[in-house]
Every structure is written in structure tokens, then in C-alpha cells.
Structure 1
Amino acid sequence: MTLEQFTSDGGQVARRYEYDDATVLAVDFGTEAVDASADVADGTVIVIADDEQYEFDLPDGASDAHTFIKNGVLTIELEDDL
């Protein structure tokens, strides 16, 4: 599942920020998902929010990703050039 499919299916708002040395993806799950968790496995981001699980593939070329959720906003930091 691509980031675009993930956000249109679930109604989340997503943004992609490009920097010289990194790309940052941010997905807003809203304040109701404060207890959500995220993990990366084999190029797939897995998010558990409430009783639902969401999955989407990282962009091609992303080999080092860091994820965290704060105040219902999932942030994915990609250090490789995409």
C-alpha cells in the first residue's frame, strides 16, 4: 500500500518533506490515536491505533527508517536519498 492509498482509505492527512539529507513523512491520525504505536519491518511501516492495524510500504530506496508517534502524528524519517 502506498502512502497515498493509506491516507485516502483512512481519512488521514499526510505530508512528505524533502531535505538535502533526508525525507520525512508525517501522517496525522488525530488526537484520538494518542496511544498508537509504529514499527518498521522489511520495508513496511506497521501502525496499531486503537483496535486497527495499518500498513504501508516505504518508498523504493529507503533502507534506514526511523518512526515515532507523538500526539497522534506518525513521523517517519528516511535518511537515504530517494
Structure 2
Amino acid sequence: MDTQQFAGGNERFIRRYEYDDSWVIAADTGLDDESLDVDIVGTTAIVVAETGDRITETELELPGEDASAETKNGVLTITVQK
């Protein structure tokens, strides 16, 4: 397993794990699950976060097309099959 970790200016972490059969991207958003929406289009994950009256959209380039996303307790997990 290979791991990479990135921290943004607000100390939120994004980690990428590489396994034999998949990549897993995990991001601690600090938001409740109802405030996050994720759409996967081709090799791009579009993450929309709603905080109060502000909506933020972020695009993540994925290493493949066979991807799924889920949120649980403010952690966004995207799994991409190799």
C-alpha cells in the first residue's frame, strides 16, 4: 500500500491510498453528510459543499473511471477500481 497525504490551509486532510486493485481517496471535510454532494463524471469527482448560505464546488481528477463515492461522519471516501 502506498499513501500520500495533503493538508490545506484550513488543516483539512486529504489522503490517497493505493492498493493492488484500487485507489482510495479520503477527505476529512468537517461537514455533516447532508451538506455534501458528490457527482462522478468520467475521471472527475465534483464535490459540492453547502455551509450556511455559502456553496463551494471542488473538482478532483481521479486516476480512473470506475469510481464510487460515499460520505460518513464528515469523511468523503472515493474508491477508484484499477
TM interval, short-chain normalised? 0.7 to 0.9
Higher relative contact order (CA 8 A, sep 6+): 1
Amino acid at match of 1:52: T
Task: Work out the percentage of aligned pairs sharing the same amino acid.
Answer: 39
2:75 is matched with which residue: 62, 73, 78? 73
User: Which 4+ stretches in 1 moved above 2 angstroms?
Assistant: 7-12
SS at match of 2:8: helix
Q: TM-score, normalised by structure 1?
A: 0.73
Q: Distance in 1 between matches of 2:10 and 2:41?
A: 21
Aligned to 1:57: 61
Q: Which runs of 5+ in 2 are unaligned?
A: 1-5
**Structure 1 residues 1-80: aligned runs within 5 Å:** 8=8, 11-30=11-30, 33-34=31-32, 35=34, 36-50=36-50, 51-59=55-63, 62-80=64-82
Structure number with bigger Rg: 2
Whose strand proportion is higher, 1 or 2? 2
Q: Which runs of 5+ in 1 are unaligned?
A: none
Q: TM-score, normalised by structure 2?
A: 0.73
- How many equivalent residue pairs? 72
